[in-house]
Structure 1
Amino acid sequence: MGEQEAVHGLGGFLRARRALVRPEDHGMPAGTRRTPGLRREEVAMLARVSTDYYVRLEQGRDKHPSPQVLAALAQALLLDEEAVAYLRELAEPAVSARSRRTRRRERAAPGLVALLEVWQQTPALVYGRYMDLLAANPLGEALFSWLGEENNLLRAIFLDSTARSFYRDWERIGEGCVAALRTANTDPGDRRLAELVGELSLGSARFAQLWARQEVRAKTAEVKHLCHPLVGELALRFENLTIPGAPGQHLVVYHAEPGSREDDALALLGSYSSPPATAPDRPGDGSARSAGRAAREGSAAEDGDR
């Protein structure tokens, strides 16, 4: 496990972020360099630690530097607020085999699934810490109908060519999802994460490149440009909300400006996903679809300590 943690844990993060910092960013001459970024001794100098100590950190031989050293390293590597928080989590000894043993399969809470059904005119979905789709209301299912039986958004984005047609800005979406996956998962011993990253790295060279960059960035509100096979191009506002009591899970809601073409398109899409008007009322029909999605995911997801 030690070698894996050196690659994917604190040492790997320091090494990857060192490669992204230019000497000029600190007012140093670039000179001739065989590899991009700062040299180890330059990071050590900027952080005011010995080169030998910094090398031990990158090699995983020292995994728990003091808060003062972490702050100095963050400044030397020009980390933003989210990256600093991620760095601190990597160095936090509380992430242990014990915490991995207590991790349970991810499921969307029944109350949350019921809440999604109330939003009949708004696509809403719940994703887990590994980007598994845990639940979706009928309009969310209709918007992401191209997923089919695939429950993991990352697998769909990087391994299904349909994603490049659905996301008009596929590259930016892919970068954001990879950064969000790393942000939500700081345990280098997480087997579920290792399996997912391994599968995606083998199947997609672009994913492997993005994962190696070790960028961290949580999903935030923005406008996403989509192209749905039934209703065409859409520019929808995207809201990402964390779910209290469910670490790593987040609620994703898409919405359009009232009266806009996108608003009409969502209404049309909703009519496609609604039961026929002549069918008898079936309370909870939409909930069953969302709960079914959650149940499929619950059976497919594995415990972190499997």
Structure 2
Amino acid sequence: MDDLAGFLRTRRSRIDPVAVGIPTDRRRRVEGLRREEVAHLSGVSVDYYIRLEQGRATEPSDQVLDALARVLYLDDTECGHLHRLARQRRRRTKTPNGHLRPELLRVLDLVLGAPALIMNHRLDVIAGNSLARLLYGRPIPGLNTARHIFLAEAERGLYADWDTCTLDVVGHLRLAAGTYPDDPRLASLIGELAIGSERFRRLWSRADVRARTHGRKAYRHPLVGLLELHQENFALPDQPGVELIVLTATPGSSTAVGLRLLESLEENTDAPTNSRPEPSPGICQGG
């Protein structure tokens, strides 16, 4: 799904030669740096770097990778992705099995006044509290936010910052593809999105990577209007690829009022207080 050679090529094409001290003229037709220039600046042989970009070199050292990251101006997330891609041939990361401990699901009951979700590396929402279900306006188990953003809602729907959301989703899936290259369900999702969305195809070709951590998340809810939330992602140490995500509102804000209104809608229905998968004995299956 992702490879070291392709990632190096995309990043090399983005470097301005002048910025790294290489003079240019009108006859230069290469976009970004030449392979020979990257090799020289990083201190590796031209032959070895060419083999890296052709997928023929194996096990580049950490020193070589760090030198390439420096020359290509990679940030910490991109540098980590580069190292993972280089390790794919010698050590494959096992795809998470999708099982959740029931105790994790009970944590959702403790999150009050804020939508809370448990999500895996494929952006499948495994479980969520009642406010999460009301926010998305649909049952939570079975929801994949990447599919929802690109194929269901698009720019006219729920996501007020749709363009930014698409960048985040593609960047996350690129990271996931580099971490779990043997996950067939992830490969199938990426293929589905590429077929169904021209914007996804265009963004995927850029090979950008983004780590989900925290930040603004805005929704245009059909019942309560604009909800400007803050998202925090909490990695679960014993659940690789799985995160607890909590969306909070600034106290006293119109968004806080909107969330309370959503809660009142829930209280006036017979819907269950949580949206979660039915547990098998002792284990809950991820979506």
Instruction: Determine if the TM-score, normalized by the shorter chain, exceeds 0.5.
Output: yes
1:180 alignment partner in structure 2: 172
Does the 8 Å CA contact 1:11/1:58 hold for their aligned counterparts?
yes
Does the 8 Å CA contact 1:138/1:290 hold for their aligned counterparts?
no
Which of the residues 82, 104, 107 maps onto 1:115? Answer: 107
Q: What amino acid is the match of 2:22?
A: M
Matched, 1:144 2:131: no
SS in 1 for 2:99: coil
Does the 8 Å CA contact 2:128/2:140 hold for their aligned counterparts?
no
SS in 2 for 1:166: coil
Matched, 1:253 2:246: yes
SS in 1 for 2:146: helix
2:36 alignment partner in structure 1: 41
Q: What amino acid is the match of 1:123?
A: P
Matched, 1:58 2:53: yes
Q: CA deviation at 1:242?
A: 0.9
Q: CA deviation at 1:120?
A: 2.9
Which of the residues 263, 266, 269 maps onto 2:256? Answer: 263
SS in 2 for 1:188: coil
Runs (5+) with no aligned partner, structure 1: 302-306
Does the 8 Å CA contact 1:231/1:268 hold for their aligned counterparts?
yes
Which of the residues 14, 17, 30 maps onto 1:20? Answer: 14
Q: Which has the higher helix share?
A: 1
Q: Deviation per CA, 1:19-65, whole angstroms, max 9, x where unpaired?
A: 22221221223434445321211111111112221111111111310
Q: CA deviation at 1:109?
A: 2.7
Q: Distance in 2 between matches of 1:35 and 1:161?
A: 39
1:286 alignment partner in structure 2: 273
Q: Distance in 2 between matches of 1:132 and 1:22?
A: 38
Q: Distance in 2 between matches of 1:111 and 1:94?
A: 35
1:11 alignment partner in structure 2: 5
Tell me the C-alpha RMSD between the 2 structures. 2.5
Q: Deviation per CA, 1:132-183, whole angstroms, max 9, x where unpaired?
A: 1111001011111267775211111111135642112111111011112222
Q: What amino acid is the match of 2:221?
A: H
Q: Deviation per CA, 1:266-297, whole angstroms, max 9, x where unpaired?
A: 01111222354xx7xx9xx434x323499xx9
Does the 8 Å CA contact 1:135/1:293 hold for their aligned counterparts?
no
Q: Distance in 2 between matches of 1:147 and 1:179?
A: 26
Q: Distance in 1 between matches of 2:16 and 2:100?
A: 43
1:219 alignment partner in structure 2: 212
1:204 alignment partner in structure 2: 197
After superposition, the Cα gap between the structure-2 partners of 1:120 and 1:126, relative to the gap in structure 1 and judged at 3 Å, is same
After superposition, the Cα gap between the structure-2 partners of 1:133 and 1:148, relative to the gap in structure 1 and judged at 3 Å, is closer
Question: What's the TM-score once normalised by structure 2's chain length?
Answer: 0.88
Q: Distance in 2 between matches of 1:87 and 1:293?
A: 38
1:68 alignment partner in structure 2: 63
1:106 alignment partner in structure 2: 98
SS in 2 for 1:21: coil
Q: CA deviation at 1:104?
A: 4.6
1:29 alignment partner in structure 2: 23
1:304 alignment partner in structure 2: none
After superposition, the Cα gap between the structure-2 partners of 1:148 and 1:113, relative to the gap in structure 1 and judged at 3 Å, is closer
Runs (5+) with no aligned partner, structure 2: none
Amino-acid identity (%): 40
1:191 alignment partner in structure 2: 184
